[in-house]
């Protein structure tokens, strides 16, 4: 049994639920039979991948839906073997090169070379180029991105590259200028509510308007998360009630609790405890930048404006260092220690002021 997210994913451009204008434009693009490299950008759960697959289907027909998994092996210059999972059909190939960590450059170059150097045997039947989908390009190292721009130009005759990116800020300008950017903004709350209702109707369930709205608001405009939540709610309790509890993500609770502990006490021993909790989060595979963001959002709630500004200033500093460095825990902990410092100082100052 497929998850609802996959089951009700639109497969054709004409069936998309929102951004209809854009769907029309994509259709125009595919009808010309040829297009430049594309870059879809938008927050997660906005429907980038769905749009890419719809576009491919428009271009190549249903053949793109016959997918197969393959594991490709690459040899790095230092003779290490790395394996990468790819999903491919006869016409396209999808890969997440950032899985290879610091060896992503090898993957980008070799993979594209392999695909691009094989010409279609019979160019008359289909389009004479293949499509390579690279996801999470913003997570690639700068080195790999530079390699990518060269390969993009070189093999433009035999393949088109579609990039899927969360934020364009981390993509080097040279790549940005070589692609036609397509902005996929997150669906509005109302749109999510409509989609949730549709899903329920097709599952022949009834969902109270209020619950749907609560789920939509809780999902932070992330459609995938909203549908997953809906399904989770269904498992928990059906028939739905309007006041039904929506399960929170446990790591979010854990992070909130961590922030609380920092606010309650500022001491070396507490710092040690917080470190354990941070380690726990990291080892569960929560990306450090998300931990950072969550932590900051929770910490500043109890501060006044000048303290907020200071906290953010330090957060920026340490987060930037974290991106450049390799040991995430150091920088997370440095931030926590720094926050404890300024918070305590601030508190004692206000108490002093009160006493006088």
Partner 1 sequence: MQAFLKSDRPSLSAGTSLSSEDHTGQTAHRRKPPAPWVEKYRPRSINEIVEQKEVVSVLQKCIDGADLPNMLLYGPPGTGKTSIVLAAARQIFGDLYKERILELNASDERGIDVVRSKIKSFAQLTASSIRPDGKPCPPFKIIILDEADSMTHAAQAALRRTMEKESRSTRFCLVCNYVSRIIEPITSRCTKFRFKPLNEDKIIDRLQFICQRECVEMETNAYGRIVEISGGDLRRAITLLQSCQMLKKGGGKIMEDDLLEISGVVPQRYLVEFLSVCRSGNYSKLDEFVQDLSFEAYSIGQVLEQFNEFVLTHPDLSSDQKSVICDKLGECMFRLQEGGSEYLQIMDLGCTTILAFKK
Examine residue 54 and tell whether it contacts partner 1 (CB under 8 A).
Answer: no
Supply the minimum distance, in Å, between the C-beta of residue 205 and partner 1: 28
Rounded (10°) CA dihedral 264, 300, 331, 134: 130
Pick one of 72, 205, 312, 342: the residue that binds partner 1 (CB under 8 A).
312
Examine residue 137 and tell whether it contacts partner 1 (CB under 8 A).
Answer: no
Q: How far apart are CA 319 and CA 332, in angstroms?
A: 8
Examine residue 338 and tell whether it contacts partner 1 (CB under 8 A).
Answer: no
What are the residues facing 95 on neighbouring strands? 86, 134
Supply the minimum distance, in Å, between the C-beta of residue 234 and partner 1: 26
Using CB under 8 A as the binding rule, the residues of this chain from 12 to 31 that contact partner 1 are: 24-26, 28-29, 31
Q: How far apart are CA 348 and CA 277, in angstroms?
A: 27
Residue 328 CB partners (closer than 8 Å, separation 6+): 282, 288, 322
Q: Which is nearer to partner 1, 205 or 282 (CB)?
A: 282
Supply the minimum distance, in Å, between the C-beta of residue 337 and partner 1: 18
| CA angle 263–264–270, rounded 5-degree value | 95
Examine residue 185 and tell whether it contacts partner 1 (CB under 8 A).
Answer: yes
Residue with tokens 């690639």: 140
87 near 135, Cβ under 8 Å?
A: no
Q: Which is nearer to partner 1, 87 or 317 (CB)?
A: 317
What Cα–Cα distance (Å) separates residue 321 from each residue in 137, 314, 325?
A: 21, 11, 6
Pick one of 2, 6, 32, 327: the residue that binds partner 1 (CB under 8 A).
32
Supply the minimum distance, in Å, between the C-beta of residue 172 and partner 1: 9
Q: How many residues bind partner 1 (CB under 8 A)?
A: 56
Stretch near partner 1 under the rule CB under 8 A, chosen from 162-170, 239-247, 252-260, 342-350:
162-170
Q: How far apart are CA 228 and CA 250, in angstroms?
A: 15
Using CB under 8 A as the binding rule, the residues of this chain from 249 to 308 that contact partner 1 are: 289, 292-293, 296-297, 300, 305-306, 308
Residue with tokens 């500043």: 300
Examine residue 323 and tell whether it contacts partner 1 (CB under 8 A).
Answer: yes
Residue with tokens 């394996």: 83
Residue with tokens 């293949």: 130
Stretch near partner 1 under the rule CB under 8 A, chosen from 56-64, 166-174, 202-210, 247-255:
166-174
Q: How far apart are CA 18 and CA 186, in angstroms?
A: 10
Q: How far apart are CA 192 and CA 213, in angstroms?
A: 8
Q: Which is nearer to partner 1, 209 or 313 (CB)?
A: 313
Enter the DSSP assignment of 17. S
Tokens of 102: 């610091």
Binding mask 201-240 for partner 1 (x = CB under 8 A): -------------------xx-------------------
337 near 271, Cβ under 8 Å?
A: yes
Pick one of 11, 82, 87, 149: the residue that binds partner 1 (CB under 8 A).
149
What Cα–Cα distance (Å) separates residue 268 from each residue in 164, 295, 333?
A: 43, 19, 11
Supply the minimum distance, in Å, between the C-beta of residue 155 and partner 1: 10
Residues that bind partner 1 (CB under 8 A): 24-26, 28-29, 31-32, 34-36, 41-43, 46, 117, 119, 123, 128, 149-150, 153-154, 156-157, 167-170, 174, 177, 180-181, 183-186, 220-221, 289, 292-293, 296-297, 300, 305-306, 308-309, 312-313, 315-316, 319-320, 323-324
């Amino acid at each position: 049994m497929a998850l609802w997210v996959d089951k009700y994913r639109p497969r054709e451009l004409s069936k998309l639920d929102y951004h209809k204008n854009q769907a029309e434009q994509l259709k125009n693009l595919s009808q010309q039979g040829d297009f430049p490299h594309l870059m879809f950008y938008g927050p997660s759960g906005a429907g980038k991948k769905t749009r890419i697959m719809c576009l491919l289907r428009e271009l190549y027909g249903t053949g793109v839906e016959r997918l197969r998994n393959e594991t490709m092996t690459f040899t790095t210059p230092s003779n290490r073997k790395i394996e990468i999972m790819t999903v491919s059909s006869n016409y396209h190939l999808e890969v997440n090169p950032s899985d290879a960590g610091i060896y992503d450059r090898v993957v980008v170059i070799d993979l594209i070379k392999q695909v691009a150097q094989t010409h279609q045997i019979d160019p008359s039947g289909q389009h004479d180029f293949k499509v390579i989908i690279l996801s999470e390009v913003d997570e690639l190292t700068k080195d790999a991105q530079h390699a990518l721009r060269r390969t993009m130009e070189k093999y433009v005759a035999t393949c088109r590259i579609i990039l899927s990116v969360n934020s364009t800020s981390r993509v080097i300008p040279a790549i940005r200028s070589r692609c036609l950017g397509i902005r996929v903004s997150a669906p509005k709350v109302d749109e999510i509510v409509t989609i949730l209702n549709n899903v329920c109707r097709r599952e022949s369930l009834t969902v109270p308007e209020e619950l749907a709205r609560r789920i939509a608001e809780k999902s932070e405009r992330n459609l995938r998360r909203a549908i997953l939540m809906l399904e989770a709610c269904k498992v928990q309790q059906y028939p739905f009630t309007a006041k039904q509890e929506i399960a929170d993500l446990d790591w979010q609770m854990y992070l909130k609790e961590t922030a609380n502990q920092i606010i309650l006490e500022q001491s070396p021993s507490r710092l040690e405890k917080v470190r354990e909790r941070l380690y726990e989060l990291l080892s569960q595979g929560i990306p450090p930048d998300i931990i950072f963001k969550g932590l900051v959002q929770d910490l500043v709630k109890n501060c006044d404006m000048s303290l907020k500004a200071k906290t953010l200033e330090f957060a920026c500093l340490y987060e930037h260092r974290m991106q450049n460095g390799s040991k995430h825990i150091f920088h997370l902990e440095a931030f926590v220690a720094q926050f404890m410092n300024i918070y305590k100082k601030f508190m004692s100052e206000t108490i002093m002021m009160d006493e006088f």
